[in-house]
Amino acid sequence: MTGALQAYVRVIDPFNRIIGRIVMYGIFVMMGILLWSSVSKVFFLPSLWTLEMAQFAMVAYYILGGPYSIQLGSNVRMDLIYGEMSDRRKAAIDALTVVFLLVYLVFLLYGGIASTAYSLGYFGSEPISFFAGLATGNAELGFLERSPTSWRPYLWPIKVIMVIGIFLMLLQVLCELAKDILRLKGHDMGAKI
């Protein structure tokens, strides 16, 4: 089992690191969108799409960057108590608390899948069966959800990004749990930040 946990960590950590490193440059995309928004408001006609596009870019930025942030240990901790503990005790507490995060992420993933199915025109109560039926093609697709703003973009692309990001975060949290279990078994997984 230890070998399987180490293999899982060796696959998921680099994958999320690569995605996080690529997505961190999304801040420049948002800056460009907001710069164009400011320039177009001053010199041209204001653009309808800039504010909402910046919001979509921000969602992609923090949802897809979340797993990398978890990997780096950038999440909030109570360092007054946590900082004085031994590495094994930190691993035990992290292994316990990560279970709560796992439960939250599973519910969030299910809600994201349901929201994505809704944005693709499925109004039923079983969103997973909707995606299983996509093999039949356009028969499953119905009314595509759009934003209620004046620009009215389709919402399914950002919802798909949301589901992918939550899934990657779930994989990274499982990776952190595997690291904590390996630390408890005495393996050196690097210092916990």
Tokens standing for 18?
């690569």
Domain residue extents for the chain? 2-184
- Name beta bridge partners: 85: none
pTM, full prediction: 0.84
Q: Which of these, 56, 58, 55, 50, lies nearest to 150 by C-alpha position?
A: 50
**Do the Cβ atoms of 193 and 72 come closer than 8 Å?**
yes
Residue 181: left if φ>0, alpha if ψ -120 to 50, beta else—which one? Answer: alpha
Q: Which pLDDT tens digits describe the chain residue by residue (193 residues)?
A: 788 888 999 999 999 999 999 999 999 999 999 999 999 888 888 888 988 999 999 999 999 999 999 998 887 766 777 777 888 888 888 888 899 999 999 999 999 998 888 888 776 667 666 666 555 555 555 678 888 888 889 999 999 999 999 999 999 999 999 998 888 888 776 655 4
**Ramachandran region, residue 76 (left: φ > 0; alpha: ψ -120 to 50; beta: rest):** beta
Residue 125: how many other CB atoms lie within 10 Å = 7
